[in-house]
């Protein structure tokens, strides 16, 4: 005996159209869509001595067959024995499956009891089959000849596995269950449920109902033939679904998550549900609803209705006369070429974290400029040729690439208007508008309200009109004119952005703004405040006709005020602020800042002068080199009167009546000469005399361009004079900064000379020796001093730059001019380095890039001896050699002897 096991089913699991479970020719039936191998199968275990299953040869007499050896045991899905005994085929049915294969199904009986069915092909639950024939043994028919056991196929459908399901041309009902299923149905009004998993479902003609179920599903009609018009219902459910509706008036609901829906032909209703959905109506008069989330809706041709729902949505009606609702949050409504006659409601509500900022965007229109007219707050119309739109609750306009005209004079809410490309005319209303010209030659008028205007590239004209307006001018913007407008106490602001800007007031009251490396210039007037960039800006308001507020922002700024009461703000960076005439208010801000005072500067206030010590000097400094005493000499600490301004603030008053009040700093804090010196007020009056063709001249009287006598050639002009103040406290803390005094007559000099320790002195033999090395030998002719003079305040080093490195005569002592090497440059701040480069541009690479000094400036004036080559005896010998020298430079020892103090000459320290 041989055994065969086949998984089958039984009649109660059939669904026959019209009711019952009996099949007849022409009947349509399906296996219960809920049929599941794991719970619904019926297992047939056949035993037989031959290979075929015989039938009952007599319909009227049960089990009247010719095979008494065939038997079966029947079990349910749980393994319970249901039937056993001699088995026969009671009748058979014939039908075709969706692939076109003929299927034979056999109904089995034991002792007159129907026990189930087996078939030659697996049946798919839910698929509708059409019965072409039934052999029940009546009317002379014979079922005694049954199928071969090997021809029988088992039912194995498990909806939770990955299934490939092919529907037929009838009304199928398919439930695929879990797994990534592939389902394809033909004609007929099918009902399809993909279940969980990422399913692919295609459906045919007939008006189907399709549900993708959980997962990222693909749903599409595969007909694609002309004339196919069926009204389908398609549901994506949860997951990121892609749904093509096909022709007909379809209902599509994407469900949760981020869906892509295409309505294709017909008047469709397309619902995105929650998530960031993309919905296209395509042809027909469609209704689109994005639901919650950031959705993209496109109506296509026809008269469409679009609802953005919650979230910042992007909506486009496309062609046709469309009705568009942005609804909650910040929506953007796009208009393409030939958009039709639309009506737009932006919506005025927000969700948590959202904003109500709806924009009409015409940037995709390629026909020409639009004309937008607001008839009230956030309401108005836009036209272009035969196209028009009426809008409500719109807060922004974005123009075309052509010449647009936007008139928002009737709006009081405050709008954002961007002209984009083209020569635009933009007019704001009475609210706080933001107007941007974009590319092209634009004209912007802010109207009343505190507006923000930006011309962009091109030649622009900006009018702030009423209110306190802000004008944005960035590097790369075009040239043009800015009129701030005057309306009572308004404060119009020019805001700069980019690399350092140069702002200069002209003698007719207007000012110009330029950027380094930029050929454009913006001229402005009626601007009360300028805010600088984050880089180094230069502001010069000397010609301004009224007071101004200048804020340098970041970077090392140079700011010069007007002759009126200005407000100067340094901001971050090492800034240099000059108030000029008038009673100015100055705020140094962060960084090591310098406040420049000059004769006639008025009575200024500094709100945040930083007295924190950086070595011997305060973080912020006063530059008083342009202040003079009654004899027209530079002021010193002895010329400063410190008083209380009546509010507890220190007021520093200078001889000509100029004063500066340090807000928040008590008088007792700054009235000591040492503190004043630390703040930048000099303690010594320069006095060392330098030989010139016109005789000895005090070094402080030299100016760039003056000629000085040099040892190895004709007189050379002074190109640059630098200074460095070192206070007494700093000298005490760092002995290397202390000056070295060469006593009178010790090296042929007429009087004592004080130099920095690193300064080079000419000695016999054609060499140079550093002053500090001479003092270190213990030779009495060179001594380290503490930098004290009658003012008890430190030492002032001076640097004289000549066209080349040379030896010049100071009190008859040949010393080197300034050598712009690494040591000398390290002693200079950024401002001094900048002035050095302006005096001799060839040094730019040396200062900023570390290029070799000799390449840009030439060789040094002599060779330096090393410290180990110098001792006390050698110094004494040099002194002996030089003591009888006569001086043809006009220096007289007796005259020099009457001098009690000399400013140190600094070169390399």
Q: Give DSSP secondary structure letters for 610-654.
A: ---EETTEESSEEEEEE-B-TTSPBP-GGG-EEEE-SSS-EEEE-
- DSSP H stretches of helix in 575-727: 667-670, 673-679
The domain segmentation of the chain, as residue ranges, is 2-151, 358-467, 689-819+860-897
Q: How confident is the model at residue 144 (pLDDT cuts 50, 70, 90)?
A: low
* 901, pLDDT greater than 70: no
pLDDT for position 791? 37
Model confidence at 909, pLDDT cuts 50, 70, 90, reads very low
pLDDT tens digits for 378-419? 999 999 999 999 999 999 999 999 999 999 999 999 999 999
| pLDDT tens-place string over residues 157-199 | 888 776 777 777 778 778 887 878 788 887 878 888 888 888 8
Mean pLDDT of 821-830: 78
358-467 matches 689-819+860-897 in fold: no
Highest average pLDDT, of 223-227, 576-580, 752-756, comes from: 576-580
Give the integer Cα–Cα distance in Å for 480 and 513.
10
d(CA 649, CA 583): 16
Q: Give, as one character, the DSSP assignment of residue 104.
A: E
Q: Contact at 8 Å (CB) between 570 and 550?
A: no
Residue 729 has pLDDT above 80, yes or no: no
The predicted model gives 873-882 an average pLDDT of: 89
Tell me what percent of the residues of the chain surpass a pLDDT of 90.
58
Cα 856 to chain centroid distance, Å, stands at 42
Q: Which residues pair with 434 in a beta bridge?
A: 416, 452
Q: How far is CA 321 from the centre of its chain?
A: 38
* Segment 605-611 mean pLDDT: 96
Encode pLDDT of 790-812 as tens digits.
Answer: 334 567 778 899 999 999 999 89
- Inform me whether the pLDDT recorded for 760 exceeds 70: yes
pLDDT of residue 866 exceeding 90, the answer is no
Confidence category of residue 435, pLDDT binned at 50, 70, 90: very high
Residue 905 has pLDDT above 50, yes or no: no
More confident residue, 370 or 681: 370
Burial class (CB in 10 A: 0-12, 13-18, 19+), 138: exposed
pLDDT, tens digit (0-9, with 9 covering 90-100), for 559-575 = 999 999 999 999 999 99
Q: Who contacts 676 (Cβ-Cβ below 8 Å, separation ≥6)?
A: 637, 640, 642, 652, 670
Specify the pLDDT at position 789.
40
- Check: CB of residue 548 under 8 Å from CB of residue 530: yes
In three state form, how does the secondary structure of 151-182 look?
A: HCECCCCCCCCCCEEECCCCCCEEECCCCCCE
Mean local confidence (pLDDT), 709-728: 88
Average pLDDT, the chain: 87
pLDDT for 140 equals: 45
Q: Domain 689-819+860-897: which topology?
A: Endonuclease - Pi-scei; Chain A, domain 1 (2.170.16)
Q: Which residues contact 82 (CB under 8 A, 6 or more apart)?
A: 42, 74, 75, 76, 115
The per-residue pLDDT for 887 is: 46
Q: Tell me, what's the pLDDT at 683? A: 41
**Is 763 in contact with 747 (CB distance < 8 Å)?**
yes
Q: E strands, 213-268, where?
A: 218-221, 233-235, 242-244, 251-253, 260-262
Q: 731 falls in which pLDDT band (50, 70, 90)?
A: confident
HEC letters along 513-569: EEECCCCCCEEEECCCEEECCCCCCEEECCCCCCCCEEECCCCCCEEECCCCCCEEE
Measure the N-to-C terminal CA separation of the chain; round to a whole number of Å.
116
- Checking if the pLDDT of 631 tops 70, the result is no
Question: Which of 547, 541, 545 shows the shortest CA–CA distance to 561?
Answer: 541
Q: Percent of the chain scored above 70 by pLDDT? A: 91
Q: Which pLDDT belongs to residue 166?
A: 78
Ranked by mean pLDDT, which of 179-188, 438-447, 697-706 comes out on top?
438-447
Name the one residue in this structure whose structure tokens are 């006009």. Answer: 890
| pLDDT score, position 727 | 72
Chain mean position to CA 724: 43
* Average confidence (pLDDT) over 761-779: 91
SS3 839: helix
Does an H or E element contain 503, and which? strand 501-505
pLDDT attached to residue 796: 74
Residue 856 backbone dihedrals phi, psi, to 5 degrees? -95, -25
The CATH architecture to which 358-467 belongs is: 2 Solenoid (2.150)
DSSP-derived 3-state class of residue 15: strand
pLDDT given for residue 891 in this prediction: 55
Confidence label for 890 from pLDDT (cuts 50, 70 and 90): low
Per-residue pLDDT at 885 exceeds 60: no
pLDDT confidence tier of residue 903, bands split at 50, 70 and 90: very low
Residue 72 pLDDT > 90: yes
- The region of weakest confidence among 98-102, 238-242, 654-658 is 98-102
CA distance 216 to 277: 13
- Rounded to the nearest 5 percent, the helix, strand and coil shares of the chain are 10, 35, 55
Q: What are phi and psi of 215, to 5 degrees?
A: 120, 175
Q: What is the pLDDT of residues 252-307, one digit of tens each?
A: 999 999 999 999 989 999 999 999 999 999 999 999 999 999 999 999 999 999 99
């Amino acid at each position: 005996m041989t055994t065969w096991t086949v998984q089958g089913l039984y009649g109660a699991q059939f669904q026959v159209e019209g009711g019952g479970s009996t099949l007849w020719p022409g009947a349509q039936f399906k296996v219960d869509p809920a049929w599941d191998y794991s719970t619904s199968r019926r297992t047939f275990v056949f035993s037989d001595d031959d290979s075929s299953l015989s039938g009952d040869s007599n319909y009227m007499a049960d089990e009247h067959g010719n095979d008494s050896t065939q038997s079966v045991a029947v079990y349910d899905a749980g393994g319970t024995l249901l039937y056993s005994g001699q088995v026969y085929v009671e009748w058979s049915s014939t039908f075709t499956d969706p692939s076109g294969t003929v299927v034979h199904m056999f109904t089995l009986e034991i002792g007159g009891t129907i026990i189930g069915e087996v078939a030659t092909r697996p049946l798919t639950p839910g698929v509708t089959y059409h019965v072409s024939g039934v052999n029940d043994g009546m009317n002379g028919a014979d079922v005694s000849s049954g199928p071969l056991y090997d021809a029988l196929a088992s039912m194995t459908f498990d909806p939770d596995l990955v299934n490939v399901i092919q529907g037929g041309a009838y009304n199928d009902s398919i439930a695929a269950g879990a797994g990534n299923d592939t389902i394809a149905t033909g004609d007929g009004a099918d009902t399809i449920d993909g279940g969980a998993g990422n399913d692919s479902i295609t459906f045919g003609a007939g008006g189907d109902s399709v549900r993708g179920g959980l997962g990222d599903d693909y749903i599409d009609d595969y007909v694609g033939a002309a004339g196919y018009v069926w009204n389908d219902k398609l549901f994506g459910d949860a997951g990121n679904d892609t749904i093509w509706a096909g022709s007909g008036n379809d209902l599509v609901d994407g469900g949760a998550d981020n869906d892509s829906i295409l309505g294709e032909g017909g008047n469709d209703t397309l619902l995105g549900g929650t998530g960031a959905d993309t919905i296209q109506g395509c042809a027909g008069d469609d209704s689109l609803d994005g639901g919650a989330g950031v959705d993209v809706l496109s109506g296509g041709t026809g008269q469409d209705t679009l609802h953005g729902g919650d979230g910042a949505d992007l909506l486009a009606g496309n062609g046709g006369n469309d009705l568009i609702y942005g609804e909650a949050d910040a929506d953007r409504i796009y208009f393409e070429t030939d958009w039709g006659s639309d009506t737009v409601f932006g919506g005025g509500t927000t969700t948590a974290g959202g904003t109500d900022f709806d924009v009409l965007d015409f940037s995709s229109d390629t026909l020409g400029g639009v004309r937008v007219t607001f008839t009230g707050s956030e309401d108005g119309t836009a036209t272009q040729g035969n196209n028009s739109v009426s809008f409500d609750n719109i807060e922004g306009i974005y123009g075309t690439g052509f010449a647009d005209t936007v008139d928002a004079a009737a709006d009081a809410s405050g709008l954002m208007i961007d002209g984009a490309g083209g020569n635009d005319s933009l007019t704001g209303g009475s609210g706080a508008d933001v107007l941007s010209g974009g590319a092209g030659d634009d004209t912007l008028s802010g109207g009343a309200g505190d507006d923000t205007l930006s011309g962009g590239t091109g030649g622009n004209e900006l009018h702030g009109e009423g209110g306190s307006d802000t004008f944005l001018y960035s590097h790369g913007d075009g040239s043009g004119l800015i009129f701030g407008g005057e309306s009572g106490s308004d404060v119009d602001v020019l805001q700069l952005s980019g690399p350092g800007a140069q702002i200069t007031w002209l003698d007719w009251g207007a000012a110009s703004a330029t950027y380094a490396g930029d050929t454009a210039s913006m001229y402005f007037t009626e601007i009360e405040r300028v805010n600088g960039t984050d880089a180094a800006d230069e502001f010069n308001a000397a010609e301004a006709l009224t007071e101004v507020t200048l804020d340098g922002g970041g970077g090392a700024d140079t700011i010069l005020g007007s002759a009126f009461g200005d407000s100067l703000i340094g901001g971050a960076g090492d800034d240099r602020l000059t108030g000029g005439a008038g009673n100015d208010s100055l705020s140094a801000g962060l960084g090591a800042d310098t406040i420049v005072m000059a004769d006639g500067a008025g009575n200024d206030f500094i709100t945040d002068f930083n007295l924190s010590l950086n070595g011997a000097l305060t973080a912020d400094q006063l530059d008083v080199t342009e202040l003079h005493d009654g004899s027209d000499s530079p002021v010193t600490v002895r010329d400063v009167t410190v008083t209380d301004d009546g509010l507890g603030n220190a007021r520093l008053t200078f001889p000509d009546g100029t004063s500066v009040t340090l807000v928040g700093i008590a008088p007792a804090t700054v009235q000591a000469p040492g503190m004043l010196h630390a703040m930048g007020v000099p303690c010594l009056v320069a006095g060392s005399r330098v030989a010139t063709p016109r005789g000895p001249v005090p070094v402080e009287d030299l100016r760039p361009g003056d000629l000085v006598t040099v040892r190895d050639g004709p007189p050379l002009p002074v190109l640059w004079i630098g200074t460095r103040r070192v206070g007494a406290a700093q000298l005490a803390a760092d002995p290397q900064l202390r000056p070295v005094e060469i006593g009178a007559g010790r090296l042929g000099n007429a009087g004592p000379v004080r130099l920095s320790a690193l300064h080079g002195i000419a000695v016999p033999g054609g060499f140079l020796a550093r002053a500090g090395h001479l003092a270190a030998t213990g030779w009495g002719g060179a001594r380290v001093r503490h930098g004290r003079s009658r003012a008890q305040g430190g030492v002032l080093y001076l640097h004289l730059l000549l066209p080349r490195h040379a030896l010049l005569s100071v009190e008859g002592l040949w010393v080197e001019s300034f050598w712009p090497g690494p040591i000398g440059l390290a002693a200079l701040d950024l401002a001094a380095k900048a002035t050095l480069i302006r005096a001799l541009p060839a040094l730019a690479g040396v200062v900023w890039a570390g290029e070799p000094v000799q390449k840009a400036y030439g060789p040094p004036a002599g060779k330096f001896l090393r410290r180990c080559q110098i001792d006390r005896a050698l110094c004494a010998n040099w002194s002996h050699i030089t003591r009888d020298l006569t001086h043809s430079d006009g220096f007289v020892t007796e005259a020099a002897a009457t001098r009690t103090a000399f400013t140190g000459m600094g070169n390399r320290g």
